Each structure stands twice: as C-alpha cells, then as structure tokens.
C-alpha cells in the first residue's frame, strides 16, 4: 500500500483519559508534549474566535480548561485541539486535528503517543486520516428537497459509553478494557504490535495510506479476532454494538459522584 513521502494529510487523533488524573502538572506535560511533537500552540479558549494567546501563565490555562466542558487550542500546521468531558463521567476526550507531511511525521506520531503514555495512561485512543474517519463515520442522506444532510455516527461522547468507535490505522488499547496478552497473541501475526507499559499500540496500516478499503478489510478481520461487538462499524443499528463486561465495570467506577 503505497503513499507519497510528500503526502500532506489531515490527521485525526482521539485520546480518552481519566479526567481526575489530570492535575495542573499532568496538564502542563500534555501541553508540552503537543508543543514538542505535534504543533506549536498559539491560541486557546472556550469558543471561537479564541480569546487568549500564548504565552500565558500555565495555572490560568489549567483553570480555564478545568472550568469548561469544551476547551479548544490551536497552533501551526492547521492544528485544532478540542478537549471535552463526558458529563457525570470521570472521562475527558482530547481530539487533535492536524495537517502533517508523512515523511516528517510517521515516527513522530508514535513518539507523541508513547510520550503521552509516559505522562498519563490512555484509556483508549486511535489515529487515522480524515478520509478514513469519514469512511467509518460520515453519513450523507439525500433530502426530499433535493439537498443533503450530513451526520457522523458512532463517534459521540455518548456513544463511547456504549461501544468503542472502531478500529483504525493506529489503535491504543489499555488493560482497563481488554486482556492485552490475549489480544497480542491473537493478532501479533496480522499487524504491528508495540507493547508499551500497560498499553498496547496496534498499527494496522500506515496512517497516511490512501487505500481506505483494504485498510478497512484488515480491520474487519481483527475485530473478529478480538471481539467484534466492542467496535463500531457504520450501521443504522447501533444496538448491534456493546462493550464487554470488563469495560462496563470500569465505566461504572468512572461515574462522577
């Protein structure tokens, strides 16, 4: 599956953390990791247009993050980071959208993930191209008026309470949700596996690959090996998908008081 070294793609990174673990020290390290490995941040705020500019006192930055259900940061390489919380759950979602050139950033994405894990465990995460994301989640329906309506399925913060959004080019799994040794033994001959601390990074395909169809076929095979009901695939019936008991029990513990 070939891709050009000069290929600039819009890359999506989704990371799910325990909100209670992110104090001002951890938050500071996460921001530094983004600045070092992904994008030099320049502005932030609770809504656009962003009210605040870097540099800023980090304590003030953390306070703004803590006080808002939605928090945004932006920087070079067309980066936009959206931090959100799941109400009544001790879970925060960091979504990063950024334009990257493959030749410079394939290894850097992996470095960013491992350095994130050094700072804080990732409950679940993935990296994919915008094209792959749209292939999995974008639904366009034609209206009677002749126009179209677009929606994204299987990827909302509420969906995460019922199932994982899918399998992607690069996946980050934790022992909160999976028996990692069991998964590793089942798929290590199919995909590139990188055990890192108490996490498992599974690289199904190059994030910059143009071949979304073949990529999706490989992921279908993997889902059958490790429990296909856990992972969302585009469908009109989301009731087909459901977390395994281990992760359901974990989510129950994560409910806010």
What pLDDT digit, counting tens, does each position of 56-90 carry? Answer: 888 889 998 988 889 999 999 999 999 999 888 99
pLDDT at site 127: 95
What pLDDT digit, counting tens, does each position of 107-122 carry? Answer: 889 999 999 999 999 9
pLDDT at site 1: 38
pLDDT at site 228: 56
Domain regions of the chain by residue span? 8-253
pLDDT at site 205: 85
Mean pLDDT of 94-105: 86
pLDDT at site 2: 44
Mean pLDDT of 45-61: 86
Q: What mean pLDDT is reported for the chain?
A: 86
Structure-token pair, residue 112: 């960013």
Beta strand 124-129 with 41-45 is: unpaired
What pLDDT digit, counting tens, does each position of 227-252 carry? Answer: 657 777 766 566 778 888 888 999 99
pLDDT at site 225: 73
Burial state string for 193-208 with b = 16 or more CB within 10 A and e = fewer than 16: beeeeebbbbbbbbbb
Reported confidence tier of residue 10, pLDDT bands at 50, 70, 90: very high
What does the alpha-carbon distance between residue 39 and residue 79 come to, in Å, rounded to a whole number?
Answer: 7
Percent of the chain with pLDDT over 70: 91
Please state the pTM of the whole predicted model: 0.91
From the centroid of its chain, how far is CA 255? 21
Half-sphere exposure of 233 (CA within 13 A, CB side): 13
Residue 215 has pLDDT above 50, yes or no: yes
Reported confidence tier of residue 6, pLDDT bands at 50, 70, 90: low
């Amino acid at each position: 599956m070939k891709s050009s070294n000069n290929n600039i793609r819009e890359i999506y990174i989704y990371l799910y953390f325990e909100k209670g673990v992110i104090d001002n020290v951890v938050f500071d390290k996460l921001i530094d990791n983004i600045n070092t490995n992904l994008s030099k941040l320049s502005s932030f705020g609770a809504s656009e247009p962003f009210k605040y500019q870097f540099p800023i006192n980090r304590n003030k930055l953390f306070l703004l993050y803590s006080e808002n259900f939605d928090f945004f940061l932006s920087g070079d390489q067309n980066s936009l980071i959206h931090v959100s919380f799941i109400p009544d759950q001790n879970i925060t979602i960091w979504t990063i959208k950024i334009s990257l050139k493959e030749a410079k950033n394939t290894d850097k994405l992996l470095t960013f993930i491992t350095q994130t894990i050094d700072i804080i465990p990732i409950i679940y995460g993935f990296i994919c191209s915008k094209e792959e994301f749209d292939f999995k989640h974008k639904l366009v329906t034609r209206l009677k008026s002749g126009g179209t309506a677009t929606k994204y399925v299987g990827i909302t913060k509420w969906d995460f309470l019922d199932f994982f959004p899918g399998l992607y080019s690069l996946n980050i799994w934790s022992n909160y949700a999976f028996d990692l040794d069991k998964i590793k033994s089942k798929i290590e001959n199919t995909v590139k596996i990188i055990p890192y601390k108490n996490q498992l990074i599974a690289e199904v395909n190059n994030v910059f690959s143009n071949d979304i169809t073949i990529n999706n076929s490989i992921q279908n095979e993997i889902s059958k090996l490790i429990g296909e009901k856990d992972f969302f695939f585009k469908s009109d019936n989301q009731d087909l998908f459901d977390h395994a008991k281990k992760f359901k029990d974990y989510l129950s513990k994560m409910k806010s008081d």
